[in-house]
Amino acid sequence: MVVRAPIVTSAHHARLAELVREGCRFAGATSYLGFPGEAYSDERDYGLLCEAWLHCFKDPARFLPPTGPRALVSESDFTDPRRVDPRRVTEALPPSLVADVVHISGREPWRQEAKNWLLAERCLRHLSRSTGLRILVVDAPPGAEPVPGVQLTGPLPWKSLLAVLAAARCLFVPAVLDASPRVLAEALCLDVPVVVNRRILGGWHYVNPFTGAFFDGEHDVVEAVTEVLRGRCRTRSWFTAHHGPARAGARVLRLLRTRDSSLPDLTHVLLTPDPGGAPAPARQGTR
């Protein structure tokens, strides 16, 4: 079983106790902010609970317990290019949702923090003023001040969001605390390059000359976006060659084998939600 965030609710505490009684073993996954770092944990010792870690960090020693095997695997690495495919995006969009640059924010305060709305607003204002590009913010924070040249819209269904991404020329990601930014992987699968905050906790391993560029702040965001729009990125082919369910699942399986050499002779495993009753076995990949 994989623990992917602090265990804080009474229901989750009860479920954990049930799994322990059933003899389950645990691995950790860094899917929530800086978990299991000190600022994003609780009173539980996750180093004792979890035998191994799937992590997203450039410097895992800053956040992870000092012992136990670890592997650079994010939940977003499991994004399936067969499911997120520009050829499968057929939804027609109104002109108001077609933009050169798209940013996905959030209405809840914690999501605004994770998506770094304060920096996003400053950068998008500067980007609009300097370039005249069409800019769209999806799931804009309530009460966000209008920015000239920037279209704000509410949350969208997943298929509509994919259509918006597929129609864009780049995705703008100013987040720092995002540990498993699935939208980054989805943009790459849709052949859309990305402009990403260099300090982001997770998803930094997707950014290279084939997929997009990093930026550091307001002073270089225009340069980064312009560079990406001028380039000829091949984001989908790069993501397909390095990530996806089979490749990510093979890395997870290799990590688990360091703790249990008796695992079946599979090619990979997949992550599935805890059904809440008896723990579901790891799904088998192609033999």
Give the Cα-Cα-Cα angle 220, 200, 100 (nearest 5 degrees): 50
Q: Where in the chain is the domain with CATH 3.40.50.2000?
A: 86-240
Structure confidence at residue 109 (pLDDT): 87
pLDDT recorded at residue 10: 92
- Tens-level pLDDT at each residue, the chain (287 residues): 999 999 989 999 999 999 999 999 999 999 999 999 988 888 889 999 999 999 999 999 999 999 889 999 999 999 999 999 999 999 999 999 999 999 999 989 888 888 999 999 999 999 999 999 999 999 999 988 888 899 999 999 999 999 999 999 999 999 999 998 899 999 999 999 999 999 999 999 999 999 999 999 999 999 999 999 998 899 999 999 999 999 999 999 999 999 999 998 899 999 999 988 444 444 333 22
Looking at the chain, which runs of residues are DSSP E strands?
2-3, 26-29, 50-55, 70-72, 101-104, 135-138, 150-152, 170-173, 194-197, 212-215, 269-270, 283-284
Q: ∠ CA 139-270-60 to the nearest 5 degrees?
A: 70
Distance set, CA 244 to CA 5, 101, 128, 165, 231 (Å): 22, 25, 34, 19, 24
Distance CA(193)–CA(185), nearest Å, equals: 10
- β-pairing, 269-270 vs 150-152, is unpaired
Residue 224: φ, ψ to 5°: -65, -45
Which token pair is 156? 């969208």
* DSSP-derived 3-state class of residue 19: helix
Q: Which two tokens stand for residue 80?
A: 């399936």
Q: Enter the DSSP assignment of 231.
A: S
252 is written with which tokens? Answer: 């997870």
User: What is the per-residue pLDDT for 206?
Assistant: 97
CATH class of 86-240: alpha beta
